[in-house]
Structure 1
Amino acid sequence: MPSISHLLSQPTWRNIGLGLTTTFFALGALSLIRPITAAAALGVYPTTPEGHTINQKSMTFLGIRDVAVANSLFWLHARGQTKETGVLMCSWVLVCVTDTWVAVEGLKERGDKGGIVVLVVGAVITAVTGLGLLGL
């Protein structure tokens, strides 16, 4: 059975990885700059002053996490370390799956199946990109 990496050339996988890395950075920056908007995308709507404070802190935590991994991925990409980038992307799938699992409850409450689909597709894209970068 042919591997995923043979579907596209290695430079193409690297460019897809760079695009995904940029997406991680942008999502992290959104969480840092507009925490209410980022939280709403995950189905979280704080309704009390305390809820807003908790939301601000939580989204800051999530945002800096995404920015940190994006910086690591940018660094690996700049050095041409394709396999290492693939390992980190594949590891990041666990974060994507956990984010999806946590967000599903809030998104289900408001009937947002589209939001759930976006999160699942994001996890699959991250996994496939990681495998492509690894050459698997």
Structure 2
Amino acid sequence: MSNITGRLLTSHERVLLFDLHAFFGPIEDDVCIGDLRCTSSREETTSLAVNAFKRQCLRAVCNAPFAGGYLIRRHFGPSTEALQIELRYTTYIVGEAGAAFPLIEEVVHRAIAAICAEMVGTMEEMHAQNGRVS
């Protein structure tokens, strides 16, 4: 993972790493976003993620009970933000095992695409304000 983020940083200013997990209990929410309690990503990035899932009609919380684990702790840095995204099993396993998986896959895809699009838009605005071309 370090090699991959290192290569990405040779051609990009920032990297956003998503560590995807699934859970069952101890909460009733659909998604828990972990950022090591505001350590592995900027507050704005975490808010983008939580709101992106909420716009997909999922109940999303931050850092409780899952604040993040080894992967994001190991790989976040000055130019790399990292979020752990925990999806509740019952959000995508309905009836027969995996029956709703294509649906949640599309929901997660849309949420992550929205996060990335907003991040790119924010970076372009910052560049424009600083007189830089992205």
Q: Give the strand-richer structure, 1 or 2.
A: 2
Taking CA–CA contacts closer than 8 Å with sequence separation of 6 or more, which of the two structures ends up with the larger relative contact order?
A: 1
Q: Give the helix-richer structure, 1 or 2.
A: 1
